[in-house]
Amino acid sequence: MLKECAQHGYFRAEACPVCGQGGRFLMNDRELDHLGRVVTGILRHFPDRYQLTIDPQGWISLPQMVRAISSRHPSYHWLRASHLVAIAETDAKGRYEVRDDRMRATYGHTLEVEPDLPTENIPDRLYYPVTAEEAEIVLEVGLKPSDRKKVHLSKTAEDARSAGSVRTPEPIILEVDATRARADGLVIRKAGKTVFVVDRVPAEYLKKIEAPTDVPSDDAP
C-alpha cells in the first residue's frame, strides 16, 4: 500500500514509519505492483509502446508519462505526477530518479541511454553473481553486458547473492577490485542504493569468493 504522511512524505505501509499516523491513501498493493511494472517498462525498455520519447540520459517528462499511462490504461484515470514521484521516492532499491518534472530509471536499461550518474564514493570492492557454468569463463574473459547495456555490480556479496538467486539456487560470487579498476581508468557509476554500473570489467580485476566464510560483511572496512 502506498500512502502519504503530511509531515514525513510518502511511504509503503499501513502507517507512517516515523510518526505512526495513517496518512493519505494513494494506491493499493495491486495497483502499486502493476503501475510499478508499467513505469519500469517505459523507463527501461519500451517508451515507444506508449508513444513516449526518452532523451539520451534516460529522462521522460512526468506529465507526458501520466497522460500516456492513463490513456492506455483507463483504470488509472486518477493518476497524477505525484503518484509516480511517490513510487520513485519509496522504491527500496533506488531504481528511479525524479528531477524537476522528469523521471528516469537509474539502471537496468535495454535502451541506448547514458545517465549522468555519480562516480564518487564507490566502494573498494563490488560483487557480481554467476552460475557454476559461467564462473571459469568469466574469470578468463571478464564481465560484459548480456541482456542489458551495462554490467550491474552489487554493493555487497549478499546483495549479489540475492540478485543471482533469481537465476540459480547457489550463485557463485565474484569480487571486483573496484579501487584498482578505477585507478586504471575504468568508470564505475552509482546507479541505485546497492547497484553500480560499468561498461565492462576485465578479468584482471575479478576473483572468486570460494566459500560463505569469504563473504565480507557490510561492516567490513
**How distant, in Å, are the alpha carbons of 18, 39, 58, 193, 212 from that of 108?**
31, 13, 11, 13, 27
Q: What is the pLDDT of residues 97-146, one digit of tens each?
A: 999 999 999 999 999 899 999 999 999 999 999 999 999 999 999 999 98
What's the confidence (pLDDT) of residue 218?
Answer: 46
Contact status, residue 187 vs residue 148, Cβ threshold 8 Å:
no
Domains and CATH numbers, the chain: 2-105 (1.10.10.970), 125-214 (3.20.170.30)
Q: What is this structure's pTM?
A: 0.81
43: three-class secondary structure by DSSP: helix
